[in-house]
Structure 1
Amino acid sequence: MTTILKSLASEDITQVTPTQGFNIKSVQSENFKLNVWDIGGARKIRPYWRNYFENTDVLIYVVDSADIKRLEETGQELSELLLEEKLRGVPLLVYANKQDLGNAVTAAEIAEGLGLHNIKDRDWQIQSCIAIEGKGVKEGLEWACKNIKRK
């Protein structure tokens, strides 16, 4: 997510390191000003994720398409997130990142592995992307903006 977020904010993405805690950026897209929380995925900080769910309008979940070994684990984490009361009905965008790598699986395969087709309680979209090139990133964000529920 860090590379995607920096790309959307038109920041340098040549020296990106994994998020250890969280980053907050404001991004302008369409007619929206989005305040985006980039929360690190390290196992030890996952219990703290729920501290950031209040007033969430869209959930953006990034999957490393080349790390097929972690697909089951990330699918379990996503399933738990979708059960959170504060995230009920919140639209879900899944970025299938790193599509440029030779061992990457397709967005359709990731959707299948995550069981996205079984999600019936919210709008969802999977978007292929190559964050370091910006490919697919804006398309995903456009979908997210169109699917934010007005409160």
Structure 2
Amino acid sequence: MAGIFRSIYDWLLRMFWATEMDVTMIGLQNAGKSSLLRVLAGGEFTIDVSNPIAFLRSRSRGDSSIPTIGFNTKRVQKGHVTLKCWDLGGQPRFRPMWERYCRGVNAIVYIVDAADQGALPVATEELHELINKPTLDGIPLLVLGNKSDLPVKLSVDELIDAMDLKSITHREVSCYGISAKEETNLDAVLHWLIARASR
């Protein structure tokens, strides 16, 4: 009996109090954006063996799939909130498009490979250049240090310092360590996003 009431309650929430929010996920190539989005949407962390170079890289680094070419979109349903997520390619030729897809969204999620310190200066520069655009003023920013399951990675505090996140003003900024592969801390990510759905 309780199951029937729960189903009716969920249906009423979706019909009358459903909230949809737009989220843009960006970051350099191989940071794990597509893997994270796949797992958040209820899929599994997978290794794409159709691309032998990506497969070999994944065996040595924990990466999951080939880089996004252009962009992907997925809808993530969590209770009465639907997250419409844009996953943008991180290669240099796609980075100029980031601003366009970040305008007017409820939140920007910036994903970095916390185990690749060599890429961190470029990731930091690209982030600060992006968020200094006047069109993106005030949009909440969530920085995720992915691949926290790897032995050599930056902690959240180290990531905050290395990326100079404390210098970012005129918006809310949060930073979490996650692992898309191990599904570590993903509930916290969803709760953070859902809390900003009505803003």
Give the TM-score of the pair, scaled to structure 1: 0.92
Decide which moves more: 123-132 or 12-21. 12-21
Question: Take 2:114 and 2:89, find their aligned partners in 1: how far apart are those partners?
Answer: 17
Q: CA deviation at 1:23?
A: 0.6
Deviations 1:44-82, CA, capped at 9 Å, x for gaps: 211122231232110000010111011111111000111
Gaps of 5+ in 1: none
Q: Is the 8 A contact 2:99 2:136 kept in 1?
A: no
- Structure 2: give runs of 5+ residues left out of the alignment: 1-32, 48-64
> Within the alignment, does 1:135 sit opposite 2:184 as a pair?
yes
Percent of aligned pairs sharing the same letter: 33
Match of 1:9 among 41, 51, 67: 41
| 1:1-51 Cα distance to aligned partner (Å, 9 max, x none) | 111100011113213322121110011125321110000111121112223
CA RMSD of aligned residues (A): 1.4
CA displacement, residues 83-123 of structure 1 (integer Å, 9 cap, x when unaligned): 12231100011111111111111111111111111222111
Distance apart, 1:148 and its partner CA:
4.3
Tell me how many residue pairs correspond in the alignment: 150
**Structure 1: how far apart are the matches of 2:78 and 2:137?**
24
Q: Does 2:171 align with 1:122?
A: yes
Q: Determine helix, strand or coil for the equivalent of 2:138.
A: coil
TM (normalized to structure 2)?
0.71
C-alpha contact (below 8 Å) 1:53/1:87 kept by paired residues: yes
* Further displaced range: 11-20 or 92-101: 11-20
Q: 1:2-151 to 2 correspondence within 5 Å? A: 2-15=34-47, 16-148=65-197, 150=199
Aligned amino acid, residue 91 of structure 1: P
